[in-house]
């Protein structure tokens, strides 16, 4: 009797380990074999984010063109306020979508680029150097192209079927 009581904690530990292993591996195995399930590591294409980023680039291009053609154009706080609010909206949407951390980070990087250009614009005497506009424009274009390249790849051709994973509860 006394011995059985001593062995109980060991058995309980084994049970815990088994439960833990099952909790980790069962969803993976089920994802691979359940009818209609397709493996999915990253979220789906989102048209709102695609349009939002394209719109930001279009507005930025307008401002850059103005700075290039009229280098004495004064610093315009409204432009940066507009960019910040548009990017904040896109970032909030991306954060609410499942499996979207990569695009959330890309939008944060794009915003950081506008913040840096704002510092440059604010601190530079006029006429604003045209070459600086070209350099900034190129950096922002690379970021926008990167985001759009990934967004379009998320279309994936035929949409994969979704599946609901069974809830595996741990009893530790």
Partner 1 sequence: MALNVATLASRMLGAALPILKKDARDAESFAKLEFTKIAQTIVAIGEQVVSGQINEQQAGLLLAMQTSASRNVFLTLQGLALLAVEAAINAALNVVRSAVNTALGFALIA
**Sites of contact with partner 1 (CB under 8 A):** 32-42, 102-103, 105-106, 109-110, 112-113, 116-117, 119-120, 123-124, 129, 131-132, 134-136, 138-143, 145-147, 149-150, 153-154, 156, 160
Cβ proximity to partner 1, 40 vs 66, nearer residue = 40
Cβ proximity to partner 1, 19 vs 45, nearer residue = 45
Q: Helices 101-123 & 77-96, crossing angle to 10 degrees?
A: 170
| Min dist. Cβ of residue 25 to partner 1 (A) | 16
Could you identify the residue written with the tokens 């088994």?
A: 18
| Min dist. Cβ of residue 163 to partner 1 (A) | 10
Q: How many residues are listed for the chain in this entry?
A: 172
Cβ proximity to partner 1, 24 vs 108, nearer residue = 108
Cβ proximity to partner 1, 32 vs 172, nearer residue = 32
For 157, residues 6+ apart whose C-beta sits below 8 A from its C-beta are none
Written as one string, the DSSP assignment of 100-140 is: -HHHHHHHHHHHHHHHHHHHHHHHSPSSPPHHHHHHHHHHH
| Min dist. Cβ of residue 105 to partner 1 (A) | 6
| Min dist. Cβ of residue 40 to partner 1 (A) | 6
The two structure tokens encoding residue 148: 């759009």
| Min dist. Cβ of residue 3 to partner 1 (A) | 44
Side-chain-side CA neighbours of residue 107 (13 Å): 25
């Amino acid at each position: 009797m006394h011995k059985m009581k001593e062995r109980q904690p060991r058995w309980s530990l084994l049970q815990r380990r088994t439960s833990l292993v099952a909790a980790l591996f069962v969803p993976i195995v089920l994802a691979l074999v359940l009818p209609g399930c397709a493996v999915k590591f990253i979220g789906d294409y989102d048209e709102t984010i695609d349009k939002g980023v394209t719109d930001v680039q279009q507005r930025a291009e307008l401002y850059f063109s103005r700075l290039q053609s009229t280098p004495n154009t004064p610093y315009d706080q409204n432009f940066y306020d507009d960019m910040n609010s548009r990017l904040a909206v896109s970032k909030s949407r991306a954060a609410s979508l499942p499996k979207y951390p990569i695009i959330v980070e890309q939008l944060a990087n794009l915003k950081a680029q506008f913040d840096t250009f704002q510092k440059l614009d604010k601190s530079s005497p006029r006429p604003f150097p045209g070459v600086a506009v070209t350099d900034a424009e190129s950096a922002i274009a690379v970021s926008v192209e990167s985001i759009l390249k990934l967004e379009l790849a998320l279309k994936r051709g035929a949409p994969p079927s979704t599946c609901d994973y069974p809830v595996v509860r741990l009893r530790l």
